[in-house]
Amino acid sequence: MFREASDDLIADVRCWLAPRYTCTMARTQDRSGKTSLTYADSGVDIEAGDRAVSLMKSMLRRTHGPRVMGRHGAFAGLFRLDYNEKLFQRNYRDPVLVACTDGVGTKVKIACDIGIYNTIGIDCVAMNINDLIVEGAEPLFFLDYIGMHSQDPETTAGIVEGIARGCEISGCALLGGECAEMPDIYAEGDFDLAGFAVGVLELHRAIDPMRVEPGDIVIGLASDGLHSNGFSLVRKIVDAAGLELRKVYEELHSDDAGGGPTPQTPVRESGACTLGEVLLTPTRIYARPIVKLLRRYTVKRIVSGMAHITGGGLEGNVSRALHEKVNVVIDRSTWDVPAVFRFLQEHGSVDETEMWRVFNMGIGYVLIVRPAFADSVVRQLERMGERATVIGEVTRGAGDVVLK
């Protein structure tokens, strides 16, 4: 018999926030009078880890539903695939578990540079969950890994605040994770962030590239700016052009697409954003509208392919949704490229081809749907808060993506 998450479960996931790695003790002397080394002497602080745990109890609890299980002293999180209550049972017939892992990359350096940590966790969740739903899966739970030089409870709490927020947006549980202090590996002030997501789908509902047909329509969902790709190039541009992360650049606020915070993932409540804040605008999470859309069609399989637009841009990612006998032709005039991309291109003197190869250029997610349902899908996604646009079509070909 399972029970809902409780304070016991929060205590059980202490390993997520440092305990194995963190321990603070005062220096002591043994009977011979020699000074005894402690874990604290090596740069690892267990008391700071304990404080971080206490700051995050409510964040973790908010993401838990009745399928999360727990017992005192557990070494791992437990999650039921289905509910006990008949009203909520999913009644899976042939369930397939779907799993993926990803990180945030060097975008974490921007967070460190300007001291904003409560959005980068959303990116971590988004990079995983958006990959997961491409397969047609419903997100179930998420785990994270934070590696850092030393434990700062407020910083760690800010990171996990974003992770928990991302899980809430995705409709999945933050089941646990690990926070490791490694002063010999990370420089002071540095950290790295990675995540792991698990979802489920019915086998017969799995997205299959072989179902993509000539005549299918390509629908693009707008991104919230850069998302989490190409930040090594972004940081190079900022450095080479002498741009200031804490300065407000009017060019970044010339349109509403990707030039700052959005209702889903705000960086600040109001006012013009600095360059650093614009760059930290979190990756948009498409889970709820995509899962909801797929559930509406229990018999007809109107979606033949999907792609999460990450590193490699539209060409590199949409091609992964195709088989070798079709092409996708995308019309770049069907949407406005957000100001942040043109700002970076101008200041970095980046070639147009390179921009489209590295960045999403304003399209964060793509669906390939049967032509008879394209208009309906666009309207449904718009009602669910997405900026959806028909951006192309499928033709006969060789598995390529053609930008025109």
Encode pLDDT of 56-106 as tens digits. 666 666 777 777 777 544 678 788 887 766 655 678 889 999 999 999 999
- Of 205, 228, 244, which closes a domain? 205
Same domain flag for 187 and 256:
no
Domain assignment present for 46 = yes
Same domain flag for 168 and 290:
no
Render each residue's pLDDT in the chain as its tens digit; 404 residues: 333 333 333 333 344 433 332 333 333 445 556 666 555 655 555 565 555 555 566 666 677 777 777 754 467 878 888 776 665 567 888 999 999 999 999 999 999 999 999 999 999 999 999 999 999 999 999 999 999 988 888 889 999 999 999 999 999 999 988 888 899 999 998 999 999 999 999 999 999 999 999 999 999 999 999 999 999 999 999 999 999 999 999 889 855 444 444 555 555 555 678 999 999 999 999 999 999 999 999 888 999 999 999 999 999 999 999 999 999 999 999 999 999 999 999 999 999 999 999 999 999 999 999 999 999 999 999 999 999 999 999 999 999 999 99
Specify the long-range contacts of residues 380-384, CB closer than 8 Å, at least 24 apart: 380/293, 380/296, 381/219, 381/221, 381/289, 381/293, 384/288, 384/289, 384/292, 384/293
pLDDT recorded at residue 299:
84
Which residue is it, tokens 């995705």? 170
Domain assignment present for 377 = yes
Domain assignment present for 26 = yes
Total domains in the chain come to 2
Same domain flag for 285 and 347:
yes
Tell me if 157 sits within 8 A of 210, measured CB to CB.
Answer: no
- Of 139, 174, 205, which closes a domain? 205
Domain assignment present for 2 = no
Which of 94, 130, 184 lies closest to 364, judged by CA? 130
Q: Which residues pair with 4 in a beta bridge?
A: none
Tell me if 123 sits within 8 A of 284, measured CB to CB.
Answer: no
Domain assignment present for 260 = yes
pLDDT recorded at residue 222:
97
Both structure tokens of 216 = 């299918």
Same domain flag for 56 and 117:
yes
Dist. CA 215–CA 241, nearest whole Å:
45
Same domain flag for 218 and 346:
yes
Same domain flag for 138 and 276:
no
Same domain flag for 152 and 223:
no
List Cβ neighbours of 222 (8 Å cut-off, separation of 6 or more): 257, 258, 284, 335, 362, 363, 364, 386, 387, 388, 389
Tell me if 79 sits within 8 A of 140, measured CB to CB.
Answer: yes
Tell me if 171 sits within 8 A of 287, measured CB to CB.
Answer: yes
What beta strand segments (E) does 91-215 contain?
95-103, 138-148, 173-181, 191-202
Helix axes 107-114, 120-134, angle to 10 degrees: 160
36 C-beta neighbours (distance < 10 Å), count: 11
Both structure tokens of 277 = 């804040």
What's the CA angle centered on 78, arms 73 and 79, to 5 degrees?
155
Same domain flag for 183 and 260:
no
CATH number of the domain bearing residue 196: 3.30.1330.10
CATH number of the domain bearing residue 295: 3.90.650.10
Strands 28-29 and 303-308: unpaired
Query: Range of 399's domain?
Result: 209-403
Dist. CA 273–CA 158, nearest whole Å:
19
Which residue is it, tokens 């974003």? 162
Domain assignment present for 230 = yes
Same domain flag for 176 and 309:
no
- Of 205, 220, 246, which closes a domain? 205
The pTM for the full model equals 0.84
Same domain flag for 224 and 161:
no
318 C-beta neighbours (distance < 10 Å), count: 28
Domain assignment present for 351 = yes
* Burial degree of 45 (CB within 10 A; 0-12, 13-18, 19+): buried
Same domain flag for 195 and 218:
no
The region, left, alpha or beta by phi > 0 then psi within -120 to 50, assigned to residue 252 is: alpha
Both structure tokens of 25 = 């003790």
Same domain flag for 195 and 325:
no
